[in-house]
Amino acid sequence: MSTPLHPFLVHFPIALWLAGSLTLLWAKWKPHWQATAWWMLAWAGLFAIGAAVSGYQAFSGIETPSPRLVSHQSLGILMPFLMIGCLLLRGHFYLKKTAVNAWLFIALSLLISGLLVYVAGLGGQAVYLDGSGIVV
């Protein structure tokens, strides 16, 4: 059995998206932080693809997944699409030079953050409470 990459990769998009979302909120009052926030969110979206692919690979090797793991996998596959969708929407308005209320993207990134924390919690519960993915 090879070493699963998912437990290693998954922490990068979580940490970067949460930090980027909070930095985006902070940038509302300190605008020079805005570029930093968007770079963190962009890297989070990129790492989310790797986390989702490695998670799907790890999930496919489990014979009887717990209900929590099934929910984690279903929502986890959705996360990169939500994250990248938010970034593409922001990029669209930026390139079109269309004025959009900054609170829209702050709210959207924080909403995605909440879902991300929930999905991560499901994954942790699936491993530590249900024993999913643990080889004895």
Alpha helices, DSSP H only, in the chain?
Answer: 6-9, 11-26, 34-60, 67-95, 102-128
Question: What is the identity of the amino acid at 52?
Answer: A
pLDDT tens-digit readout, 100-129: 788 899 999 999 999 999 999 999 999 999
pTM value > 0.75: yes
Q: Which residue matches tokens 């938010």?
A: 86
The whole-angstrom separation of Cα 24 and Cα 18 is 10
Q: How far apart are CA 48 and CA 98, in angstroms?
A: 28
DSSP letter assigned to residue 3: P
